[in-house]
């Protein structure tokens, strides 16, 4: 198979920590160009790649695939230019800042005969893969209540475009994209949606809190994010008619060293049938200057003290 020549747009957190190491770990891909002014960072994190501009990457006839890891407002415009130039495109989440922009890109990719994909790395987190496997195996029966939290303790406003009044800023676009994608992966499209999105911190310019309820007949999927959560509760909570799945702490690149689970309160009439530790395994590659993570695409952190999952089944 012919190797793919890849151009990466952006070398901030997403480009340098997620995309560049993954591209370089895949022998069928060659990262030849990075569009960023961070020349020293590119030398360290993507040796051999040319530091250039987005326009130059898109215009380069030798580049097959363009990976977009720039601020959210530029995702759709850059993807549009790359598709028109005949490139395959991978866009870091979110795909666009509106459904209309996303639909336009999908239609353009079809007309151009190019592949268009969105990078949703948290589909591949160890804890999510473990929960999904448990659900698909029917170990604890039919689901009736699902909760997924992406909570953090950040009482001060952080500098950067994610905290500014721009299209695609705020935690719903930033973190909600992960939780919504995971829920759709597990359960498909809901039949109804209830959403409460707001700002809680003083001087916040964009949303820093949300609570979303997705309805699937009698089942509810609750997706929640808070920015002033000092001690989070369970990361995942799945309640079924045969038992429950509880997961504390976060796997993957966003959580740093994983927290050990808090003591699980087991109700009368239930017993712990399995404590899964570590969660879903994976091979590892090492990103220079950062932590190890499995070579699955997208990545999950490995080599850290693993959190555990607890399955409770009714007697």
pLDDT (tens digit, 9 = 90+) per residue, 217-275? Answer: 999 999 999 998 998 899 999 999 999 999 998 875 433 333 333 333 333 344 444 55
Domain encompassing residue 59:
4-119
Residues 21 and 102 in one domain: yes
Q: In what order do the strands lie in the sheet with 209-216?
A: 192-198, 209-216, 219-225, 143-149, 236-240, 243-247, 309-314, 270-276
Residues 85 and 160 in one domain: no
CATH, residue 162: 3.30.360.10
Hey, which residues does 240 pair with through a beta bridge? 143, 243
Q: What is the pLDDT of residues 27-70, one digit of tens each?
A: 999 999 999 999 999 999 999 999 999 999 999 999 999 999 99
- The 10 Å Cβ neighbour count of residue 40 is 8
Q: Are 79 and 60 in contact (CB under 8 A)?
A: no
Helices (H), 34-170: 39-45, 54-59, 75-84, 99-112, 126-136
Which 8-state DSSP code applies to residue 228?
Answer: B
Reported as a pLDDT band with limits 50, 70 and 90, residue 311 is low
Residue 9 tokens, joined:
């747009």
Residues 131 and 65 in one domain: no
Instruction: Supply the pTM of this predicted model.
Output: 0.79
Residues 152 and 283 in one domain: yes
Cα dist from 139 to 81, 142, 150, 151, 310, whole Å: 47, 9, 25, 28, 12
CATH, residue 109: 3.40.50.720
Which 8-state DSSP code applies to residue 79?
Answer: H
Residues 86 and 166 in one domain: no
Please name the residues in contact with 167: beta carbons below 8 A apart, sequence gap of 6 or more. Answer: 72, 73, 97, 98
Helices (H), the chain: 13, 20-25, 39-45, 54-59, 75-84, 99-112, 126-136, 171, 177-187
């Amino acid at each position: 198979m012919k190797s793919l020549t890849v151009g990466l747009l952006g070398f901030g957190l997403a480009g340098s920590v997620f995309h560049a190491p993954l591209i370089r770990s895949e022998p069928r891909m060659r990262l030849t160009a990075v569009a960023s002014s961070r020349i020293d960072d590119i030398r360290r994190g993507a040796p051999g790649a040319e530091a250039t501009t987005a326009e130059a990457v898109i215009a380069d006839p030798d580049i097959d695939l363009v990976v977009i890891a720039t601020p959210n407002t530029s995702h759709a415009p850059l993807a549009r230019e790359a598709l028109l130039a005949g490139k395959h495109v991978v866009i870091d989440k979110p795909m666009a800042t509106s459904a209309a922009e996303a639909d336009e890109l999908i239609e353009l990719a079809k007309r151009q005969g190019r592949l268009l994909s969105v990078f949703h790395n948290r589909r591949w987190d160890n804890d999510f893969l473990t929960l999904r496997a448990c659900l698909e195996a029917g170990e604890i029966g039919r689901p009736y209540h699902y909760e997924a939290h992406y909570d953090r303790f950040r009482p001060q406003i952080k500098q950067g475009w994610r905290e500014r009044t721009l299209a695609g800023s705020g935690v719903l676009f930033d973190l909600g994209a992960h939780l919504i994608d995971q829920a759709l992966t597990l359960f498909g499209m809901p039949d109804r949606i209830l959403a409460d999105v707001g700002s809680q911190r003083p001087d916040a310019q964009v949303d820093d809190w949300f609570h979303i309820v997705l309805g699937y007949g009698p089942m509810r999927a609750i997706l929640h994010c808070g920015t002033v959560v000092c001690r989070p509760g369970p990361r995942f909570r799945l309640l079924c008619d045969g038992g429950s799945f509880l997961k504390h702490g976060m796997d993957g690149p966003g959580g740093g060293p994983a927290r050990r689970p808090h003591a699980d309160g087991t109700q009368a009439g239930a017993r712990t049938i399995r404590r899964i530790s570590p969660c879903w395994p994976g091979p590892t590659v090492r990103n220079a200057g950062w932590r190890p993570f499995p070579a699955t695409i997208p990545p999950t952190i490995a080599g850290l003290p693993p959190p555990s999952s607890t399955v409770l089944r009714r007697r």
